[in-house]
Chains A and B, each alone.
Chain A
């Protein structure tokens, strides 16, 4: 079962939930935790495991072969992403703008643009007892997150499909990277905080999930701050709030040191239990 953990707003506690839930559940079952926030993956800070595999992930981009080229200019006109330019008598490829559609390569009359792999980032696979941890990180300056996310998802479904539970830490926001992750999951947990910012961004994310037709539930973190508008909102929209986590400075301190919360805070464990119980029910329904 594949569960994406997402939030509209950054800093609501997505990663905190993902790492704690994954580590806790791994005490009893085979769990896969994937950090798909490829621009800024942070879960690795909390997971101590040994490295099994590290691989560079590539995207396919065209490479210009001068010898064959007829300088017809079709490729530069075709490309809708401005990834191909003519500079004097040369064709220049801008790999960071390329979306790997293969149009220029396959439509070139002279076969002068074969596709080759360009490094996007690194995928690391670590293991900590019954927890498998996958983290993908974009190289700095690579602008597109989606190709790395897609390939990481493919790697996981190809190599690691025997886990009872998969937890995917998603990027924040509501644009393409989040859509790619949540669209591929079976169920989505939306983490929010009970403040006006949290509510505003939750609403955007809820609308996204509804457009995608993805089943989801809400988790409210940092209960105690803000107000109860978020609960009223969920009640009005018939959205299930599975559990809450308290706003405690001690929790923030543990997080700041890169430590897990549940070993130290019993009420945190109770909330994790609630989530796992509810996930079992979802599994039966799916």
Chain B
């Protein structure tokens, strides 16, 4: 499974970014290959309208099947995410990436429905 996190930094000890659309980074953890990839999303700050869908499209390009985030994506992003095969978990806003992953594995996060 490929797990995506909205993140404030590039590593396991960085904090989850509670936002989706304008998140600073997307971290993709490939469980099979045990590889962590970081995508710098900060160019999104120059976008006026439609930040959410642009970030969702990036997620689709990475082929993530699970998204772990803080507050949950806004309406426009959700519109795109709902067309992808992605299960969304939220409530990880004050955790590190590592803590969020553990919480997800232990069924401690909210959500878990396909959008």
Chain A contact residues, CB within 8 Å of chain B: 81-83, 85-88, 90, 92, 94, 96-97, 141, 143
The chain A residue with its CB closest to the CB of B84 is A87
Residues of A within 8 A of B84 (CB): 87
User: How many B residues have CB within 8 A of the partner chain?
Assistant: 13
Interchain CB contact under 8 A, B60 and A87: yes
Bound Cα distance from A92 to B54, whole angstroms: 12
Q: 4 extra interchain contacts, Cβ-Cβ under 8 A, other than A96-B75, A96-B76?
A: A82-B54, A94-B76, A97-B49, A97-B50
Bound Cα distance from A143 to B50, whole angstroms: 11
Residues of A within 8 A of B93 (CB): none
Whether A88 touches B60, Cβ cut-off 8 Å, given contacts A81-B49, A83-B50, A94-B53, is: yes
Whether A85 touches B75, Cβ cut-off 8 Å, given contacts A92-B83, A94-B50, is: no
Residues of B within 8 A of A90 (CB): 83
Which single member of A92, A141, A143 contacts B80 (CB below 8 Å)? A92
Instruction: Indicate if B79 sits at the interface (CB-CB under 8 A).
Output: yes
**Chain B 60-90 near chain A by CB (<8 Å), digits 1 or 0:** 1000000000000001100110011000000
Interchain CB contact under 8 A, A97 and B76: yes
Q: List 23 contacting pairs A-B, 8 Å CB cutoff, sorted by A.
A: A81-B49, A81-B50, A82-B47, A82-B49, A82-B50, A82-B53, A83-B50, A85-B57, A85-B80, A87-B60, A87-B80, A87-B83, A87-B84, A90-B83, A92-B83, A94-B50, A94-B53, A94-B76, A94-B79, A96-B76, A97-B49, A97-B53, A143-B49
